[in-house]
Amino acid sequence: MTTATPRSTAPSTPGSRQPVEPAPPVLELDNLVMHFGPVRAVDGVSLTIHRGTVVALVGESGSGKSTVGRCVVRLHRPTSGTIRLNGTDITHLGRRALRPHRRELAIVFQDPASSLDPRLTVGAIVGEPLRLLRLAANRRQREQAVVEALRKVGLGVEYLHRYPHELSGGQRQRVSLARALVSSPSLLIADEPTSALDVSVQASVLNLLTDLQRDLGFACLFITHNLPAVEYLADEVAVMYLGQLVEHGPAAAIFATPMHPYTQALLSAAPLPDPVEQRERTRVVLRGDIPSAVEPPSGCRFHTRCPVAVKRCAVEVPAARQVAGRRVSCHLVDADGSGPDIRVAGQSGTAGVPALRREEASP
């Protein structure tokens, strides 16, 4: 791996990442559904991630983001839909048939303290995928691969014989990254990889992840609610609400002109680095919690919290449409991308749960 130039710890501006040339798809989700009994955690998610790109999956807690990631790495067996990895349908493969594809998949969890076995040394933890997947011919090759993986994440050989409790939170997450990448996967699932870390450490881990992704070229599904991190890291953004995608497109476009009212509300809540802009901005605060996934609302699932909902929203499910270079599911967004902006349309700080307005045309 080439020596990477350190990045600024401040979030970049939208569109600062260079455009990525089209590449073969690594992951293709087609109408993915994951129900846990009556709980409709994921309800028809379609998403494609190309080689060398970072797609951020964002939304409130309980929206189903982590469930999507766990389905991809087959920690959950999907209820229905299709998961294709490098063109191969892995949705219903058994353990033995899935084994050749395991090396192409890796996941980094939210809390490194609970995802690392406290009984194992760092060397054993990082080398475990090589042993389980039989990717090293002998112990010497495995040790060499472990040392190289640790070097890539900025840890020296002196960490080989240490235990997780002897490491800081940032060091433990670097070990998690080394373990995930030691098998040279084509897809990395990063599930809230910095949320359990101190703010002072988060930037260094994000810089590391960005450099690794650029140098190694793997595709990445970055699951988070940290929008400044998304703005810094992602090529594309997929916004999820109550088990469904409501907007998906280039990160620069979504941060500049969010179309779906839910996307607008999320971005209005993200802090701005300029204190003057932060004070003067209009923030939309959605009242109430995300509805139950056991009995999701009819029509558009966001209509019970949407400050601009109309009668049609309660009775008709909005189709996902291609609008101005992105996919959006909202009745109120026109074909040219115009529609309501709840950040400026009379919302002076709190968006209530309004009574549905009457449309001129019947639904």
In this predicted structure, what is the pLDDT of residue 278? Answer: 63
Rounded to whole angstroms, the Cα distance separating 64 from 73 reads: 15
In this predicted structure, what is the pLDDT of residue 352? Answer: 35
Note down pLDDT in tens along the chain; length 363 residues.
333 333 333 344 444 455 545 678 999 999 999 999 999 999 999 999 999 999 999 999 899 999 999 999 999 999 999 999 999 999 999 989 999 999 999 999 988 888 899 999 999 999 999 999 989 878 899 999 999 999 999 999 999 999 999 999 999 999 999 999 999 999 999 999 988 788 888 989 999 999 999 999 999 999 998 898 999 899 999 999 999 999 999 999 999 999 999 999 999 877 766 666 666 666 777 877 889 999 999 999 999 999 899 999 999 999 999 999 999 999 999 988 888 888 664 443 333 333 333 333 333
Nearby residues of 184 by Cβ (< 8 Å), 6 or more positions away: 103, 216
If phi > 0 it is left, if psi is from -120 to 50 it is alpha, else beta; for residue 150 that is: alpha
Rounded to whole angstroms, the Cα distance separating 255 from 230 reads: 10
Q: How far is CA 169 from the centre of its chain?
A: 21
Q: What is the DSSP string of 293-323?
A: SSSPPSSSTTTTT-TT-BHHHHHSPPPPEEE
8 Å CB contact between 42 and 34 = yes
Sign of the CA dihedral running 201, 202, 205, 207: negative
Packing angle, helices 199-216 and 169-181, rounded to 10? 20
Rounded to whole angstroms, the Cα distance separating 214 from 145 reads: 20
8 Å CB contact between 215 and 7 = no
pTM value is: 0.86
Burial of residue 96 (number of CB atoms within 10 Å: 0-12, 13-18, 19+): exposed
In this predicted structure, what is the pLDDT of residue 181? Answer: 96
Domain boundaries, the chain: 25-245, 257-351
- The CATH code that applies to domain 25-245 is 3.40.50.300
Tokens of 46: 């379609």
Tokens of 190: 């990063």
Rounded to whole angstroms, the Cα distance separating 242 from 32 reads: 14
Rounded to whole angstroms, the Cα distance separating 331 from 328 reads: 9
